[in-house]
């Protein structure tokens, strides 16, 4: 634990990720899924984490939750600093036993996660009410009756239809949107300080997507939680997030306030992502501009900037030296040789 005297004000970030490296050691290769991630999550904010499939977004979430299967996976370097909600002590999650009591208390009690596909996260053999109640009994040390009452309260809060009936139903009896609401109800049942939502609307139709996003906004207002929203959908990020981190091949390459990033992107990869998004009512017949080339595999030993082989602005130094992730202007950070450190 970091002593109380090192804790300053309530403006301190609730979560800091510092140079985190998560590798998977396979027989024929080492997969560098996270290769030096730096990230900061302010209190009561929503951080959008975007990037192509395979860039490490979900591995970052699993690393924060200490759910990386070992072997073959391991956090080999870095710190994940959590400011605990009741004591305000700061604990380095990477130093905890992933199977120990302290980490189990953090999962659900301090940090909760909503996965992309709720059907694989909910136990098909137990009713919805029993599954939510189990989490409440574990973290809030209450009896079954009180836990079921809390489960009913949370199902009502997530605006699921006929919550009393849903309490006694099994996951297969619910629609995709209902199951996602159940996952959100379970995640928030113990008032966690941080909610990680990993592609929470991908499998849902557009109308239900909008309902789930509105629900998350409302619940954040009610509970005061911070949200890490992992998605490839930049439209969702523009609606939901106050800050955005852009990820490429296991690293954060750009970080800024949402409006700043959408209006003044700096990294060529971020510009490429924005140029490849269809915009309703786009003037003229401007075609979408895809990002050329393919993402390198995380097992490759890459010199310099990992995006250099695909970058239209690549210079000689880009293929030789890795750019430093640094602040170009207040609150706007980038790792790119187009914006070298002073």
**pLDDT recorded at residue 50:** 93
**pLDDT recorded at residue 192:** 86
Mean pLDDT of 243-258: 94
Mean pLDDT of 146-172: 90
Residue 269 pLDDT grade (very low, low, confident, very high; cuts 50, 70, 90): very high
Residue 19 pLDDT grade (very low, low, confident, very high; cuts 50, 70, 90): very high
Residue 11 pLDDT grade (very low, low, confident, very high; cuts 50, 70, 90): low
Count of alpha carbons within 13 angstroms of residue 323, beta-carbon side: 29
What CATH architecture is 13-110+192-334? 3-Layer(aba) Sandwich (3.40)
Mean pLDDT of 239-261: 94
**pLDDT recorded at residue 6:** 41
More confident residue, 11 or 30: 30
Residue 2 pLDDT grade (very low, low, confident, very high; cuts 50, 70, 90): very low
**pLDDT recorded at residue 37:** 94
Domain ranges of the chain: 13-110+192-334, 124-191
Element (H or E) spanning 92, and its range?
A: strand 90-92
Residue 279 pLDDT grade (very low, low, confident, very high; cuts 50, 70, 90): low
Name, in order, each residue with C-beta under 8 angstroms of 147's C-beta and a sequence gap of 6 or more: 132, 133, 134, 136, 137, 140
Q: What is the mean pLDDT of the chain?
A: 86
CA distance 219 to 221: 5
Q: Is the pLDDT of residue 4 over 70?
A: no
Residue 224 pLDDT grade (very low, low, confident, very high; cuts 50, 70, 90): confident
Name, in order, each residue with C-beta under 8 angstroms of 124's C-beta and a sequence gap of 6 or more: 170, 171, 172
CA-wise closest residue to 39 among 54, 53, 60, 55: 60
CA-wise closest residue to 202 among 160, 232, 159: 232
Residue 78 CA, chain-centre distance (Å), reads 18
More confident residue, 151 or 9: 151
**pLDDT recorded at residue 7:** 40
The answer to whether 331 and 342 are in contact (CB under 8 A) is no
More confident residue, 210 or 133: 133
More confident residue, 263 or 282: 263
Share of the chain above pLDDT 70, in %: 92
The answer to pTM > 0.85 is yes
Q: Is the pLDDT of residue 77 over 50?
A: yes
Residue 239 pLDDT grade (very low, low, confident, very high; cuts 50, 70, 90): confident
Q: Is the pLDDT of residue 178 over 70?
A: yes
Per-residue pLDDT of 122-144, as tens digits, reads 888 999 999 999 888 888 788 88
Query: Which DSSP symbol is given to 204?
Result: S
CA distance 231 to 220: 18
Q: Is the pLDDT of residue 74 over 90?
A: yes
């Amino acid at each position: 634990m970091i002593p109380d005297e090192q804790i300053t004000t309530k403006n301190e970030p609730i979560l800091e990720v510092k140079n985190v490296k998560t590798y998977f050691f396979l027989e024929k290769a080492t997969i560098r899924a996270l290769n030096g991630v730096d990230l900061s999550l302010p209190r009561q904010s929503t951080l959008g984490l975007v990037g192509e499939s395979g860039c490490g977004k979900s591995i970052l979430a699993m690393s924060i939750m200490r759910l990386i299967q070992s072997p073959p996976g391991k956090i080999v370097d870095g710190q994940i600093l959590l400011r605990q909600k009741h004591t305000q002590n700061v604990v380095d999650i990477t130093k905890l036993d992933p199977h120990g009591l302290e980490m189990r208390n953090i999962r659900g009690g301090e940090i909760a996660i909503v996965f992309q596909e709720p059907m694989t996260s909910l136990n098909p053999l137990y009713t919805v009410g029993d599954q939510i109640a189990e989490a409440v009994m574990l973290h809030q040390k209450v009896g079954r009756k009180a836990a079921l009452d809390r489960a009913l309260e949370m199902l009502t809060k997530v605006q699921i239809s006929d919550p009393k009936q849903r309490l006694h139903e099994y996951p297969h009896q619910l629609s995709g949107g209902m199951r996602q609401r159940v996952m959100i109800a379970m995640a928030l049942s113990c008032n966690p300080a941080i909610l990680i939502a990993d592609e929470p609307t991908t499998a849902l139709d557009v109308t239900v997507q909008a309902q789930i996003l509105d629900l998350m906004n409302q619940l954040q207002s009610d509970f005061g939680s911070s949200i890490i929203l992992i998605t490839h959908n930049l439209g969702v990020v523009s609606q939901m997030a106050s800050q955005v981190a852009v990820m490429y091949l296991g690293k954060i390459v750009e970080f800024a306030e949402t409006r700043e990033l959408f209006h003044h992107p700096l990294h060529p990869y971020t510009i490429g992502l924005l140029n490849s998004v269809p915009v309703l009512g786009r003037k003229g017949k401007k075609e979408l501009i895809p990002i050329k080339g393919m993402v390198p595999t995380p097992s490759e030993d890459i010199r310099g900037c990992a995006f250099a082989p695909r970058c239209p602005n690549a210079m000689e130094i880009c293929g030789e030296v890795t750019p430093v992730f640094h602040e170009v202007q207040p609150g706007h950070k980038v790792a790119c040789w187009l914006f070298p450190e002073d």
